[in-house]
């Protein structure tokens, strides 16, 4: 097991942190996790959807700059780039 001091830390708060703040105290009833079908010209990505007992949902998507990279690097297509989650439960 990796030592905690080697684990990455959060450097700055995300612009969408408000959505997580709204989830404090909610109970997760179910969840979905899988790849997102964005189309053949887009990068492969993953999504997590948390379903809460009050009927609300939190969708967490991966964003990327795959299109920008393809513009700057000849021969690279957005569909060549994959973005994914690495879920880790720390105990």
Domain boundaries along the sequence of the chain: 16-80
What average pLDDT does the segment 56-67 reach?
83
Instruction: Lowest mean pLDDT of 15-29, 47-61, 73-87, name the range.
Output: 73-87
pLDDT given for residue 58 in this prediction = 92
pTM: 0.66
Between residues 66 and 5, the one the model is more confident about? 66
pLDDT at 25 over 90: yes
pLDDT at 66 over 80: no
16 band by pLDDT with thresholds 50, 70 and 90? confident
pLDDT given for residue 51 in this prediction = 95
Q: What string of DSSP letters covers 29-76? A: EEEEEEEE---TTS-BEEEEEEEETTS-EEEEE----HHHHHHHSTT-
């Amino acid at each position: 097991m990796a030592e905690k001091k080697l684990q990455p830390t959060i450097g700055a708060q995300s612009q969408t942190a408000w959505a997580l703040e709204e989830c404090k105290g909610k109970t997760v009833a179910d969840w979905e996790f899988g790849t997102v079908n964005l189309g053949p010209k887009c990068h492969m990505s993953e999504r997590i959807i948390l379903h809460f007992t009050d009927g609300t949902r939190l969708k967490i998507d991966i964003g990327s700059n795959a299109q920008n990279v393809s513009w700057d690097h000849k021969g690279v297509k957005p569909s060549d780039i994959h973005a994914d989650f690495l879920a880790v439960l720390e105990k």
